[in-house]
Amino acid sequence: MSAASEAVERAARAVADGDLIVYPTETVYGLGADALDAEAVERVFAAKGRDRDDPLSLAVADAETALDYVHATETERAFMAEFLPGPVTVVCEKRAAVPDALTGGRDRVGIRVPDHDLARAVLDAAGPTTGTSANVSGRGSVTSAADLDPEIRDAAAVVIDGGETPGTESTVVDVAAGEVHRPGAGADAVERWLQERA
């Protein structure tokens, strides 16, 4: 078994056990836990020191899997087909399986499908995980496993070192509202797509 496959297997086991993992994406390093387990989600908030009202995204291996966890309109599906996998977080109406702990009690959740082979292998093996940056809230995002905050490193059962990541965070978009909540990687293309369909 290759080192990468072994790391993926260890990460999937950790998520199944309710533990936290750190994994690389095409933007920054992510902090993952079982997104459908409210207790695991709480551990992510605690590790990051993040306000419970500040929702976390749900990361999955592909856009098709995302549809198991959200009610997506035709326009949202068209957007996903165009931009996922990619450095974009798409906010959609959540299904009942998604706990309120993840969304701060809101009825919508951000969906993330990283354009990163190792990240998608982890998500494929582990199932839906939290898609949030692996840093303490208020500190900068991390592009190298060596630069992880000690609090995050201590909280994670598994850290997958995938080398340096590009560092620009994902663009967060609410397609139904035609709004970009946070411009990031690929924001210009997202804005153009929304304008063309306005």
The predicted-structure confidence for 143-162, as pLDDT tens digits, reads as follows 999 999 999 999 999 999 99
Distance spanning both ends of the chain, measured CA to CA: 49
Annotate 64-87 with b (16+ C-beta within 10 A) or e (fewer).
eebbebbebeeebbebbeebbbbb
Please identify which residue in the block is written with the tokens 């304008």. Answer: 195
- HSE of 109, CA atoms in CB hemisphere, 13 A: 32
Which pLDDT value is given to residue 171?
Answer: 97
- CA 121 to CA 28: how far, in whole Å? 16
Which pLDDT value is given to residue 4?
Answer: 84
Of all residues in the chain, what percent carry a pLDDT higher than 70? Answer: 100
Q: Is 192 exposed, middle or buried (0-12, 13-18, 19+ CB in 10 A)?
A: exposed
Q: What is the pTM of this model?
A: 0.96
Of all residues in the chain, what percent carry a pLDDT higher than 90? Answer: 97
Give yes or no for residue 14 having a pLDDT over 90. Answer: yes
Task: Check which CATH number belongs to the domain holding 10 and give it.
Answer: 3.90.870.10
The total of structural domains in the chain comes to 1
Contact, 120 vs 30, CB < 8 A?
no
Q: Taking residues 134-139, report their average pLDDT.
A: 96
Q: Is 179 exposed, middle or buried (0-12, 13-18, 19+ CB in 10 A)?
A: exposed
pLDDT: which is higher, 141 or 1 = 141
Domain that holds residue 181: 3-196
Q: Taking residues 132-140, report their average pLDDT.
A: 96
